[in-house]
Amino acid sequence: MVPELFARAGYEAVTLDLQHGMFDFEAAVDSLGLIALGGAHRIARIPVADNALAGRLIDMGAECIIAPMINSREEAEQFARAMKYPPMGERSWSPRRAAMLSGQTDHEYLTNSNSQTLALAMIETQEAIEALDDILSVPELDGIFVGPSDLSLSLSKGTALDPNGPETARACADIASKAKAAGKIAGIFCLSAEMVEEAVAQGYRLLSYGIDTVFIDGAARTALGETAWT
Ligand code: 3PY
Ligand code: MG
């Protein structure tokens, strides 16, 4: 029920995290249907370099795939090409559920899906920042998605987990303006409402804000704190 709750709460899109979250493929397949039922767009994050899973999830109805730790043009290209049908890429044919969930026939889906699905490469290392122009030049790639926690770890050479820090914020602003100049979508993970505001001001268009376990943890602690006997 959790993905559906988020969709019904008013999020425009709900992301299933198969990199760090608890989803296996079957749970993700169920959840994609529940997000659709709740009326939100369907996003999934794959584990590092798992382009085969990107293909399976998009066939099962994910509309956007986020690929973590993309550090070179070649990695971006391999990922994005797995997401797009020829002649653009080399996505393999069998989109049964994706066509169903998007209310299209297979033929309509074939015509439309390259422009209706998003391949986003995560920028979350110093190496990725150095290769950013090359990554942004991949025509099949729709955009980038920043992971500020890993980015801060990488920029500080492992000495600081500081997703809100000034060095990370400067890097995030640069990434957004380069993405905009390249005509690509810029997305980012936000840990707070303040980060959402800052990211919007920097030009980010896809904001991923809130984690189910963090919300539950916070609500549980608040509820306990409100009782007289704890
Ligand atoms: C990061 O901040 O590194 C992320 O991957 C966010 O999900
Ligand atoms: Mg990360």
Q: What percent of the chain has pLDDT over 70?
A: 100
Q: In whole angstroms, give the CA distance from residue 143 to residue 183.
A: 8
Query: What mean pLDDT do residues 194-205 have?
Result: 96
Span from the CA of 60 to the centroid of ligand 2 (angstroms): 24
Cβ–ligand 1 distance for 3 under 6 Å, the answer no
Nearest CA to ligand 1 atom 4: 147
Q: What is the amino acid identity at position 45?
A: R
- Residue 23: predicted pLDDT: 87
DSSP string, 9-60: HT-SEEEEETTTSS--HHHHHHHHHHHHHTT-EEEEEPPTT-HHHHHHHHHT
Looking at the DSSP bridge assignments, the partners of residue 188 are: 146, 207
Cβ–ligand 1 distance for 19 under 6 Å, the answer no
Residue 89 phi, psi dihedral angles, 5° rounding: -140, -155
Residue 230 has pLDDT above 70, yes or no: no
Cβ–ligand 1 distance for 17 under 6 Å, the answer no
pLDDT in tens, 62-92: 999 999 999 999 999 999 999 999 999 999 9
Span from the CA of 136 to the centroid of ligand 2 (angstroms): 19
- Is residue 49 within 8 Å of 75, Cβ to Cβ? yes
- Of the residues 9, 12, 20, 25, only one is catalytic, namely 20
* ipTM > 0.95 for the complex: yes
Cβ–ligand 1 distance for 124 under 6 Å, the answer yes
Q: In whole angstroms, give the CA distance from residue 18 to residue 46.
A: 5
- Residue 228: predicted pLDDT: 81
Residue 61 has pLDDT above 70, yes or no: yes
Nearest CA to ligand 1 atom 5: 147
2-225: CATH homologous superfamily?
Phosphoenolpyruvate-binding domains (3.20.20.60)
Query: Residue 32's closest CA among 17, 8, 16?
Result: 16
Domain range annotation of the chain: 2-225
Query: What mean pLDDT do residues 179-204 have?
Result: 97
The answer to whether 20 is a known catalytic residue is yes
Residue 229 has pLDDT above 90, yes or no: no
Q: Please give the structure tokens belonging to residue 41.
A: 């767009």
